[in-house]
Amino acid sequence: MPLVRIDIRKHKDPTFAKRAGLQVFAALQATMNVPDHDLFQVLAEHDAEHMIYDPQYFGIPRSDGIIFVQITLNEGRTVEQKKALYQTLAAGLERELHVRQEDVFINLVEVKKENWSFGNGLAQYATS
């Protein structure tokens, strides 16, 4: 059950953030075995003063087209799955939305299953 947060600079296309979210979901399904309908995302657009990034960190030239993708998910995926996600997502955003791969910043936050409640005040994944 991933929870995805996508942050971008204000975009002239009002559908851009949602379309980016669909690319994230497709990459998660292709690489992390995320099931259909497991789609939970927070999409945010920011003005220039509220979108801070280093344009050269790790020698990667970034532009104002940067997109931050933070995914909170259950722990247990392999390093190979994570690398496949990064590659698949960057390629999909470039292909479908013309986002430079240098501008795709991804962060995974892994949590234990008992750290989720899907509603009704219950910990649906908790085993005890």
Active site residue ranges: 2
Distance (Å, whole) CA 110 – CA 122: 20
Nearest to residue 106, comparing CAs of 81, 78, 85, 79?
Answer: 85
Distance (Å, whole) CA 80 – CA 18: 27
